[in-house]
A = this chain, B = another copy of it.
Amino acid sequence: MSEKKLVREITSRDEDFAKWYTDIVLKADLVGYSGVKGCMVIRPYGYAIWENIQRILDGIFKDTGHENVYMPMFIPESLLNKEKDHIEGFAPEVAWVTHGGSELLAERMCIRPTSEVLFCEHYKNIISSYRDLPKLYNQWCSVVRWEKTTRPFLRSREFLWQEGHTAHADADDAVRETEQMLNVYADFCANSLNMPVLKGKKTESDKFAGAVATYCIEALMHDGKALQAGTSHYFGDKFAKVFDITYTNKENKLEFIHQASWGVTTRLIGAVIMSHGDDSGLVLPPAVAPVQVVIIPVAQHKPGVLEKAAELAERLKVAGLRVKLDDSDNSAGWKFSEYEMKGVPLRLEIGPKDIEQNQCVIVRRDTREKAFVGLDNLETEVSELLSALAKGIYQKSLENIQNRTYSCKNTDEINAAFAEKGDGFVKAMWCGDEKCEDEVKERTGAGSRCIPFEQEKISDVCVCCGKPAECMVIWGKAY
Seen from chain A, the residues whose Cβ lies within 8 Å of a Cβ on chain B are 1-2, 4, 32-36, 39-44, 47-48, 50-51, 67-76, 79, 91-103, 109, 111, 118, 121-122, 125-126, 128-129, 131-132, 137, 141-142, 144, 146, 157-158, 160
Q: How many whole Å from A60's CB to the nearest CB in chain B?
A: 16
Q: A36-B75, A44-B68 are in contact. List 7 more A-B contacts (CB 8 A).
A: A32-B125, A35-B121, A73-B111, A92-B101, A93-B100, A95-B97, A98-B98
A233 to chain B, nearest CB (A): 21
The 22 listed contacts between A and B (C-beta, < 8 Å) are A2-B128, A2-B129, A4-B129, A32-B122, A32-B126, A33-B125, A34-B71, A36-B74, A36-B109, A41-B70, A41-B72, A47-B67, A48-B68, A73-B111, A73-B142, A73-B144, A91-B101, A95-B99, A95-B100, A96-B98, A97-B97, A97-B98
Q: Does the CB pair B96–A97 fall under 8 Å?
A: yes
Partner among B72, B76, B98, B101 whose Cβ is within 8 Å of the Cβ of A158: B72
Expressed in whole angstroms, the Cα–Cα distance for A33 and B101 within the complex equals 22
Contact assessment for A142 and B144 in the assembled complex, using a CB-CB cutoff below 8 Å: no
Contacts of A146 on B, CB cut-off 8 Å?
100-101, 103
| A42 touching B67 in the complex, CB below 8 Å, given contacts A35-B121, A142-B141, A146-B100 | no
* Distance between A447 CB and nearest chain B CB, rounded to angstroms: 23
B72–A39 contact, CB under 8 A? yes
**A72 touching B36 by the CB < 8 A rule?**
yes
Task: Please measure, in the bound complex, the distance between the C-alpha atom of A68 and the C-alpha atom of B4, giving whole angstroms.
Answer: 24
- Copies assembled: 2
Assess whether B36 is in contact with A76, with CB atoms less than 8 Å apart.
Answer: yes
Chain B neighbourhood of A43, CB < 8 A: 69, 126
A243 to chain B, nearest CB (A): 11
By a CB distance below 8 angstroms, the chain B residues around A40 are: 72
Closest Cβ neighbor of A93 among chain B residues? B101
Listed residue (A36, A44, A67) with the most chain B CB atoms within 10 angstroms of its CB? A36
Q: Is the CB of A96 within 8 A of B99?
A: yes
Q: Would you give the shortest CB distance from A84 to chain B, in whole angstroms?
A: 18
When C-beta atoms are compared, the residue in chain B nearest to A99 turns out to be B96
Taking CB atoms, residues of chain B closer than 8 Å to A72 are 34, 36, 39-41, 158
Whether the Cβ atoms of A2 and B39 lie closer than 8 Å is: no
What are the residues of chain B within 8 A of A1 when measuring CB–CB? 131-132
In the bound complex, CA of A236 to CA of B146 (Å):
37
- Contact yes or no, B70 A47, CB < 8 A: yes
**Which among A69, A103, A128 has the highest number of chain B CB atoms within 10 Å?**
A69
Q: Which residues of the other chain, B, contact A71 by a CB distance below 8 angstroms?
A: 34, 41
A4: min CB distance to chain B, Å = 7
**Contact of A74 with B158 at beta-carbon distance under 8 Å, contacts A97-B96, A146-B100 already known:** yes
- Cα-based distance from A99 to B97 in the complex (angstroms): 7
Do the beta carbons of B158 and A2 come within 8 Å of each other? no
> What is the minimal beta-carbon distance from A101 to any residue of chain B, in angstroms?
5
Question: Nearest chain-B residue to A1 (Cβ)?
Answer: B131
Give the CA-CA distance A42 to B32 in the complex, in Å.
31
In the bound complex, residues from chain B placing their C-beta under 8 Å from that of A142 are 70, 73, 141
Q: Is the CB of A2 within 8 A of B70?
A: no
Q: Report how far A122 CA is from B42 CA in the complex, Å.
A: 11
Measured between C-beta atoms, what is the minimum distance from A254 to chain B in Å?
14
Residues of B within 8 A of A2 (CB): 128-129, 131-132
Closest-CB distance, A14 to chain B (whole angstroms):
30
How many angstroms from the CA of A94 to the CA of B74 in the assembled complex? 14
Residues of B within 8 A of A131 (CB): 1-2
A111 and B111 contact, CB distance less than 8 A: yes
A39 contacts B70, CB within 8 Å? no
Task: Give chain B residues whose Cβ lies under 8 Å from the Cβ of A111.
Answer: 73, 97, 111
**Chain B residues within an 8 Å CB radius of A35:** 76, 79, 121
Complex Cα distance, B74 from A207, in Å, reads: 29
Contact flag A41-B96 (CB < 8 Å), given A74-B158, A91-B101, A160-B70: no
Query: Given contacts A96-B99, A97-B97, A131-B2, is CB(A47)–CB(B34) below 8 Å?
Result: no
Q: How far is the CA of A50 from the CA of B1 in the complex (A)?
A: 35
